[in-house]
Structure formats: structure tokens, C-alpha cells
Structure 1
Amino acid sequence: MRKEFVLYLGILAMACGKDSPKPPEAALLSFPLQNSECTTGVSLNNNTSQVEFRWQEARYADTYELKVTNVLTGLSITNAPTTALSSFVPVLKGTPYKWRITTRNTETQEIGFSEEWFFYNAGTQTTYPPFPAQLIEPASGTPVVRDLNNEITLKWTSGDADNDIQSYEVYLDTDPDPQQLVASPSVSITQVKASVAIDTVYYWKVLTLDRAGNISDSGVYSFRVIR
């Protein structure tokens, strides 16, 4: 009996000592830079240039998948998984894009996602509209609880290749196409308070305005106030 018990402990120790599969970590993006104008692409024709996307090696990652999305149309290009740390993609000139890297390995079903970076592919423009604001809070479709003043906080982030954002316009409404302007903060402010009613679905968006008169639209998010 004692020998069987010792054998059981040995097997248990071996099982506990075996390393669990490690999920791939997120890749760190290198180029094109966040909120930049990419001027290094190789011109293919009047409308398109080929841009090299680069990222850093991620721990426990076997392959990397590049996804590049046209911000104006929502159309994406997704490259086949690769072991390389760069990839060339043809993109339209004078057009805003966002890109990210998905990491995978053969040991686990878990995947890693990099940050999502925005850039303008250089064209003939001398000025670019701001990148659409990224709505952070409340996340779309989430339940929201009011504070003691019956208000909630709307938060967003933004960027601009020209670095000339002037202000924002924040719209909040019960209509899916929000038209009620609730705040017009300056460039240094990226969150505002707004009064809301209980058990109500709201829709919100942010317009970003720059000093050249360009405007970008974040698109609409929704949330429900539950109490």
C-alpha cells in the first residue's frame, strides 16, 4: 500500500510540474505609426501605393495575421498568417486606415490582439481630416448606471495626422440618429457628463473638428440606462 501511495505522489508531482500551454502575447506595432501620415509607400498607380506594415515579435506566438481596414468604407484586407514580422499591402492614396495584428500558436486556442493604430496613406492632400473619434465609454450595447446626479460619463479618444484638432461636438439622443448636441468641448477634453433617464436606450456620437474645417464622425454607439 505504501509503495502505491508513493507512486501516486510521483505521478501527481509530474502532472503538476508540466507547464500549461502559454497563450500568445499581443504584438507591438511598429509602422505605420499611430495617427500619422505614411509617406514611405511605393506608388503602384495614380490611386494606390504599397505600404510595408511592421511589428515586433510577440512571446509564444507562432504566426501573425495582419488586418488593414479602410476607415471610410469599412472594407478590410486580411493577410494569411505568417511567421514574418512585416507584410506589404496595397492601399489607396490619401485614405485613412486602421490596422492590427492577431497572434496565434499551435498549443492553445487562445489568440492575442495588438492595439489598433490609425494612419493616412499619403496622397496629394496638404491637409487631412481628423481620424474618427473612438468611443470608449459606455461601450456599445452595454447597461449603464447613473451617478448620484442622474448623469453618466461619455468618454472617447481621438487622433489627427496634422495635429490640428480644434474641438468636438458630442451628440446624445433617444433617436438612433442622434441630433441633440450636449457638449462642444475643446481639444483638451475627451469626456463629458450628460443627464439621462432611467430605463431608456440612448444613442451617442462624437464629431471631431480641425482648424482647417475638416470634420470626422465617430459613428453611433448605443447603451441602456438600467438605474
Structure 2
Amino acid sequence: MKSLNYTILLALIFLTSCGGGSDGGSTTEPDPIPNPTAATLIFPENNKECTEGSVLNELQSSVNFQWSASENTDSYSLTVTNLNTNSSSTTTSSTTEKTITLQRGTPYEWFVTSKANGTAETAISSKFRFYNQGVGVENYAPFPAVAVSPKRGITLSTRTNVDLQWIGEDIDNDIASYEILFGTEIIPTNSLGSTTTNTMNTSVISGNVYYWVVITNDQEGNKSRSEVFEFKVD
């Protein structure tokens, strides 16, 4: 019996020395940081003329961008793009607004990126387009068209024809027609003709990279030129 008791005592000493029977050495994993959610844009409104900015001079005005607070967010990045030059600027805000100086009589696109401390995950809002009010402008040029299909940079399977599709918008709602420039040159100059719809079919050859541009015309003679879109055909 003494031998059995001695054996049990040794076992207890061994377990105690190795931390057995105790959770004192365990660690608790920190709770994961929740990902931020996307903000909802408020002002300037989508496809509208911004008339509420503070005029600085004949060329510039300041516009107060506003959006709703998003969950799990510590800061926001506001990205504004001049659609005439395709140049963008990004600024940071800890609140749900930011005042930016813009060119007057110019189309812009903007969106907000939500960020949270401790994680690289972000959330991007939808994108809004607007015209910053100009001096004595009664009719604005259309917004540059946006490609829908083929998606920019996509590689299509072998085929002989492609339907080009795009979105055209104008705050005056007076778009008259679209002209499509298309070809294998990086800056296409060959015109496929004009249409009043948002699609045009064209022939293609396998192995080529194609580039296309949409020129949007309104009833007042104003026009806008899209970016150059590209796709490849296997």
C-alpha cells in the first residue's frame, strides 16, 4: 500500500510541475477586428449639377462632400476624379464630410473608402458623378461614357463578332447620339459610325487586342470623349 501511495504522489508532483491540471498557462486569442462596411454617399448627388459650393473665383469653387457613417470604421478616404483629365486626388477624413476645391464647369466622379485600425481590409462605396456648376452654363456636356461589355482588360474566347455596350449619362437628359472609335491602335481613330442606342456590333479577329472609345453627343452640340477601353480576343 505504501508503494502505491508513493507512486500516486510522484504522479501528482509530475503533473503539477508540467502544468497539468491547471489552466494558468493558457492564453486567450484576441477577438478578430471586424471589417469596415461601405459608406453611403449623400452629396454631391449622382448625375446632378452641384450648385451649393462656395465660389472662390471664376475658375474654382469649394464643395463639401458628405456621406453616411459606416460600421466598424475609424477613418475614410475620399477619392475625387476630374473626368476631363482622368486625374484623381485622395484625402483622408475622420468624419463623414470633407471640403475640396474643384474646377467650375467640370464633371467629376467620387467615392469613399472605409478603413479600420488594426486591419488592412477596406470597403468601397458606390461611385457618384456630378457637374460642378460653371459660370453662366445653361447646358452641360454629357458625362464620359462608361464601358459595360466587354469589360476593360478582359480576354474573350475565339469569335468573329463582339457587341460593344456602354452607359451614357447627361444631367440635361439630351443625349442625341454616340460615335464609336474602334481598332487595334492604342488610340483608335477608325469610326464604326453613330448610333442612338447603347450598343454596337463589330467584327474582330482572334489574337488581336482591340481599343475603343465612345464619343457622346447631346442636342446642343456638346460632346464628351470616354477613356480608351481595351480587350483581347483569343
Normalised TM-score (structure 2): 0.81
Contact 1:174–1:201 (Cα < 8 Å) also in 2: yes
Map of 1:75 onto structure 2: 87
For the structure 1 residues 54 and 199, does the alpha-carbon distance in structure 2 shift closer, same or farther, using more than 3 Å as the test? same
Q: CA–CA distance in 2 between the matches of 1:45 and 1:183?
A: 41
Map of 1:211 onto structure 2: 219
* Post-superposition CA distance 1:80-128 (Å, at most 9, x none): x222111111111111111111111013201121222111111121111
Map of 2:118 onto structure 1: 107
Residue 209 of structure 1, CA deviation: 0.8
Q: CA–CA distance in 1 between the matches of 2:191 and 2:22?
A: 73
Q: Which runs of 5+ in 1 are unaligned?
A: none
Question: Percent identity among equivalent residues?
Answer: 36
Q: CA–CA distance in 2 between the matches of 1:185 and 1:175?
A: 22
| Count of residues in Structure 1 that have an aligned counterpart in Structure 2 | 214
Q: CA–CA distance in 1 between the matches of 2:102 and 2:219?
A: 27
Contact 1:146–1:152 (Cα < 8 Å) also in 2: no
Name the amino acid aligned to 2:98: S
Q: CA–CA distance in 2 between the matches of 1:185 and 1:118?
A: 24
Contact 1:146–1:196 (Cα < 8 Å) also in 2: no
Map of 1:151 onto structure 2: 161
* Post-superposition CA distance 1:137-162 (Å, at most 9, x none): 22333211245xx3223222121121
Contact 1:94–1:122 (Cα < 8 Å) also in 2: yes
Task: Select the residue among 37, 56, 62 that pairs with 2:74.
Answer: 62
**2:142 maps to 1:134:** no
Task: Select the residue among 183, 188, 200 that pairs with 1:192.
Answer: 200
**2:40 maps to 1:28:** yes
For the structure 1 residues 154 and 42, does the alpha-carbon distance in structure 2 shift closer, same or farther, using more than 3 Å as the test? same
Contact 1:22–1:107 (Cα < 8 Å) also in 2: no
Map of 1:37 onto structure 2: 49
Name the amino acid aligned to 2:131: Y
Q: Which runs of 5+ in 2 are unaligned?
A: 1-18
What is the SS of the residue equivalent to 1:131?
Answer: coil
Normalised TM-score (structure 1): 0.84
Contact 1:172–1:202 (Cα < 8 Å) also in 2: yes
**2:64 maps to 1:52:** yes
Residue 60 of structure 1, CA deviation: 1.9
Map of 1:169 onto structure 2: 179
**2:128 maps to 1:91:** no
Q: CA–CA distance in 2 between the matches of 1:7 and 1:21?
A: 30
Contact 1:152–1:193 (Cα < 8 Å) also in 2: yes
Deviating 4+ runs (over 4 angstroms): none
What is the SS of the residue equivalent to 1:202?
Answer: strand
Name the amino acid aligned to 2:37: E
Q: CA–CA distance in 1 between the matches of 2:75 and 2:200?
A: 41
Name the amino acid aligned to 2:146: Q
For the structure 1 residues 167 and 83, does the alpha-carbon distance in structure 2 shift closer, same or farther, using more than 3 Å as the test? same
